Amino acid sequence: MSGISRALGALPTMARVGFADAVAYRAEMLIWILATTMPLVMMPLWLAVTRDGPVQGMTSSDVVAYFLATFIARQLTSCWAAWQINWEVRQGSLSMRLLRPISPIFAYMVEHLTALPIRLVIALPLTMTLLVVLAGETLPDTAALWALTVLSMLGAWVLTFFVQLAIGALSLFMQSSIRIMDVWFAGYMVFSGYLIPLRMFPGWVRGVLDWLPFRYQIGLPVELLTGAHALPEAASLVVRQWAFALLAMAIGIFVWKRGVARFSAYGG
């Protein structure tokens, strides 16, 4: 049996065990969800800003739709691979992972993806209801735009996962790469649209942000979910997002492989 068919054969069990692990601690799971509620905190702040009229073309109902969509996108695209890899390197448990006859990258992906369903069960119905009731007219209005929205959610997850894989794998070269992740996360918070809608930035800053990966980690799926783009523009942005995702994938796999080789050369 080839490595790929073995991995696919193991997938259902890996997914089931990953899900069981994700729901093992109910309190921890709820805290994690609460930790990602920053968009719901930002919503009233931006509502105060837009109370007297639209700011940069954004009305109060746009603000509501935007931050509800941001909350949904955050639930669907969050990932903690960088922290996990750092912890495993430090604890030495990476050795046990490397001894299993399955790609560690594939195993990390499955572990992280299987944590999503429970967050969907808890977070999505409430938020989608609010989004439809409060801002239903902003949702994508064609099947093609919905398809692009789903594709951009997936692209955001792939981009986030491989960025975290690359940064996490840097811990195989240095004592810890958590600080690097902190710096990246700071950039993500400010420039991705997570806390500040990107249209609030001056035009030249938005021009720069178009060519940085942060927007494609959360901003683009949110823009598509709130109907900010017509089909041709949406398609072009999703293509650009996947280009970033594939680049992150190439970098992540490269850094991981070099890191594991170094780990094998110097310690373990």
Partner 1 sequence: MITVRELAKHYRVHERAPGMRSALRSLFRRTYKTVRAVDGVSFEIAAGERVGFLGPNGAGKTTTLKVLSGLLHPTSGAVTVDGHVPQRRERAFLEKITLVMGQKQQLIWDLPPAETFELNRAIYGVPRARFDETMSELTALLELGELVKKPTRELSLGERMKCELAAALIHRPRVLFLDEPTIGLDVSMQVIFRDFIKRYNERWNATLILTSHYMDDVAALCPRVIVIDKGTLSFDGSLETLVQRIRPEKRVVLRFERSVAAADVAALGMVVSHADLVATLRVPQDAVRDLVSRALATLPVADLTVESPPLEEVMSELFARSRAERDSAAATAEAT
Over the window 29 to 48, marking each residue x when it contacts partner 1 by CB under 8 A and - when it does not, the resulting string is: --------------------
In Å, how far are 91, 96, 210, 264 from 268, measured between CA atoms?
10, 10, 40, 6
Q: What is d(CA 228, CA 230) in angstroms, rounded to the nearest whole number?
A: 7
Q: Which stretch binds partner 1 (CB under 8 A): 10-18, 50-58, 59-67, 165-173?
A: 10-18
Distance, in Å, from the CA atom of 172 to the CA atom of 258, rounded to the nearest integer, reads 9
Q: Is 218 in contact with 73 (CB distance < 8 Å)?
A: yes
| Cα–Cα distance for residue pair 204/49, rounded to 1 Å | 22
| CA–CA distance, 256 with 88 (Å, rounded to integer) | 14
- The rounded distance, in Å, linking the Cα atoms of 11 and 241 is 27
99 part of the interface to partner 1, by CB under 8 A: yes
Burial class (CB in 10 A: 0-12, 13-18, 19+), 213: buried
Residue 3 within binding range of partner 1, rule CB under 8 A: yes
CB 83 within 8 A of CB 163: no
Residue 1 in the binding site for partner 1 (CB under 8 A): yes
> Quick one: 14 or 167, whose CB is closer to partner 1?
14
Asked if 10 touches partner 1 (CB under 8 A), the answer is yes
Does residue 53 interact with partner 1 by CB under 8 A?
no
Contact region with partner 1 (CB under 8 A), list: 1-9, 122-130, 220-228, 235-243: 1-9
Per CB under 8 A, 93 contacts partner 1: yes
Tell whether residue 27 is a contact of partner 1 (CB under 8 A).
Answer: no
How big is the chain by its Cα radius of gyration, in Å?
Answer: 19
Exactly one of 29, 38, 47, 102 binds partner 1 (CB under 8 A); which one?
Answer: 102
Among residues 93 and 176, whose Cβ is nearest to partner 1? 93
Please list every residue from 229 through 268 that binds partner 1, using CB under 8 A: 261, 264-268
Does the protein bind partner 1 through residue 13 (CB under 8 A)? yes
Closest distance of CB 267 from partner 1, Å: 7
Candidate segments 11-19, 115-123, 128-136, 176-184, binder of partner 1 by CB under 8 A: 11-19
Q: List beta partners, residue 58.
A: 55
- Window 63 to 92, contacts with partner 1 (CB under 8 A): 91-92
26, 27, 57, 101: which one binds partner 1 (CB under 8 A): 101
User: Taking CB under 8 A as the rule, does residue 134 contact partner 1?
Assistant: no
Q: Is 175 exposed, middle or buried (0-12, 13-18, 19+ CB in 10 A)?
A: exposed
- Between CA 217 and CA 164 the distance in angstroms is 12
Instruction: Give the footprint of partner 1 on this chain (CB under 8 A).
Output: 1, 3, 6, 9-10, 12-14, 17, 20-21, 24-25, 91-93, 95-96, 98-102, 261, 264-268
